[in-house]
A = this chain, B = another copy of it.
Amino acid sequence: MRVPPKRGAIIQRLRLEQVKIYRHNVTVHWGDTDPAKIVFYPNYFEWFDQSTRLYFDSVGLDWDSLVRKYGIVGLPIVEAKARFLAPCKFRDEIVVESRIGKWNDKTFEVSHAVVNGGVRAVEGYEIRVWAQRKPDEPDRLKAIPIPAEIRSAFE
């Protein structure tokens, strides 16, 4: 992924090869494609969202348990981005490769790459926040520090 310079150091420190990766297999169905015969792009974000949840499941951190144990509200999305490098088509068997891209104090980034028959078709990320409801304003959220054991579950 095109990494902005300011994050290069951090990414290096993470030594990506030590971060667990999740591979989410997706079949491109007819209804996922548009009159141009390629995937309608919002679907990629739906697959990103799926993969992030399955990724957490795969390291033993399913979201329902996190809600119960830490009182968080799930892992709300803060930002999402994708770059579209090559189109995917009906019947393509693609893989969404997801990994933690960066831990911040109260947010984290999950990097996603869509690989289609060996070709990198899409790359992007989601930033999500670790947050609880404000006691006095339950409609609003308050970001709180991510516990260390959450981070270590991905190593």
> Using a CB–CB distance below 8 Å, which chain A residues touch chain B?
29-31, 33-37, 40-43, 45-46, 49-50, 53, 73-74, 76-84, 87, 90
Cα-based distance from A81 to B42 in the complex (angstroms): 11
- In the bound complex, residues from chain B placing their C-beta under 8 Å from that of A73 are 36
- Complex Cα distance, B31 from A80, in Å, reads 16
Residues of B within 8 A of A79 (CB): 81-84
Closest 10 CB pairs of A and B: A81-B81, A42-B45, A42-B46, A42-B42, A35-B37, A29-B50, A79-B83, A31-B40, A41-B77, A77-B84
A46 to B81, CA, bound (A): 14
B30 touches A33 (CB 8 A): no
Q: How many angstroms between the C-alpha atoms of A50 and B29 in the bound complex?
A: 6
Partner of A42, one of B35, B43, B84, B87: B43
CA distance A76 to B82 in the complex (A): 13
> A26 to nearest B CB, angstroms?
10
CA distance A135 to B4 in the complex (A): 35
